[in-house]
Amino acid sequence: MILVAYGTRPEIIKLFPVIRELRKRRIAHETLFTGQQTDLYEDVKDLVPPPDVSFAGSFSGRAKHNTLGESFLKICRASERLFARRRFDAVVVQGDTTTAWALAQMAFYNGVKIAHVEAGLRTFDPENPYPEELNRTLIGHAAEWNFAPTKRACENLVGCGARNVRNVGNTIVDAVDLLRRRRKIPVARSNEVPVTLHRRENHAIMGRLFDELDRVAAGNPDLELILPIHPNPNVRKHRPRLKAKNLRVIPPVGYLEMLRMLARARFVISDSGGIQEECACLNKKILIVRETTERPEVIEMGLGKLVGGKLLPHIDWARNPSGKARQHPFGNGRAAERIVRILSRSLMKAK
């Protein structure tokens, strides 16, 4: 029996193709929702079947925002109880979230093999992104299977002595392709510029970033900047700084609406990791509002540019068309198929 664990919206988006492939092949599996993001889960819950196991009750009656430690401990305790009463052949985790690391650690302690989807991303700076860089590094060492999305990720894993490293591609390509077909989302080019800013590393300079964003809008009246503002109070408190008429602040949007916004964007401004990959899938330029990125492939293919907290000097680069769509480094949309095939063959041999 395979357990597929997720607790956040990005995990569901990147794991639903794997769950879909497991169901297609009729391989015995169950799904687990840890409850890490109960509000954002509602946005994408239709992508996956109702979870067989849920830890959401562990977060009931909680404060509006758990600390990292509180979330980690709640998931660890619930996982320990689950592994004490149920036996699984493997646990599949994705990426670098608190859910992924807590499940991986408890699985390791209980002798359950770990499959790490999107393994090997590295900045080699434990503070950027925080705490994700440490989470994914630790999972890579504990995992029995490391499913890397790119050649560079494979090299990172091999260099640190990780086991069973396989370059399978990134399941975000599977997800974007499936959703674009299902929901008929065309790629176009408007004057809209989606903006997302939320990372912890940027909270200290968020006021300055908002001032810079306002100057970008004022200096480029032909562009329409759209900021779905993050609910974190460290972001929202800077809202009054945004005064330009062509800078529209809207409530947070669901994933499908964000995908539509990216598909029709002129270019994108973001400090998100996942949006860098989606821009690669959609052939859109992105100004990466970070000092470093674990996805340097987006920069190498000419679609991404690290700008730190400086937006204005890079707007001309972003405005220029990205040119003909090119093959991106994250695979051909068959990552989930490869992951499930490798897992099923390995588990069959072990029996």
Domains of the chain, earliest start first: 2-170+331-350 (3.40.50.2000), 187-319 (3.40.50.2000)
pLDDT attached to residue 39: 84
pTM, entire model: 0.93
When pLDDT is averaged across residues 132-151 and rounded to a whole number, the result is 97
Distance CA 239, CA 95 (A): 31
Tokens representing 279?
A: 């821009």
Helix (H, G, I), strand (E, B) or coil at 160: coil
C-alpha separations of 290 from 129, 130, 273, 294, 301 in Å: 9, 12, 10, 11, 18
What is the predicted pLDDT for the residue at 349?
A: 83
Answer yes or no: 198 catalytic: yes
Q: Token pair of 96, please? A: 């670098």
Query: What proportion of the chain, given as a percentage, has pLDDT over 70?
Result: 97
For the segment 311-321, what is each residue's pLDDT rounded down to a tens digit? Answer: 999 999 999 98
- The answer for residues whose C-beta is within 8 angstroms of residue 297's C-beta and 6 or more apart is 150, 152, 280, 328, 329, 330
DSSP letters, 92-138, are EEETTSHHHHHHHHHHHHTT-EEEEET-----S-TTSSTTHHHHHHH
User: Which candidate in 29, 116, 198, 314 is catalytic?
Assistant: 198
The pLDDT score that the predictor gives to residue 58 is: 75
Q: What is the pLDDT of residues 322-346, one digit of tens each?
A: 776 567 789 999 999 999 999 999 9
Structure tokens at 163: 């086991």
The model's pLDDT over 237-288, given as tens digits with 9 standing for 90+, comes to 999 999 999 999 999 999 999 999 999 999 999 999 999 999 999 999 999 9
Q: According to the model, what pLDDT value does residue 38 have?
A: 87
Encode pLDDT of 41-82 as tens digits: 899 999 999 999 999 887 765 555 688 999 999 999 999 999
Ramachandran angles phi, psi of 215, nearest 5°: -70, -35
Look at 351 and 175; give whichever has higher pLDDT: 175
Length of the chain: 351
What is the chain's alpha carbon radius of gyration, rounded to the nearest angstrom? 20
Confidence bin at 22 (pLDDT 50/70/90):
very high
From residue 244, alpha-carbon distances to 3, 197, 229, 233, 262 in Å are 49, 17, 15, 22, 22
* CA distances (Å), origin 33, targets 78, 81, 303: 11, 15, 34
CA 198, CA 245: separation in Å to the nearest integer?
Answer: 22
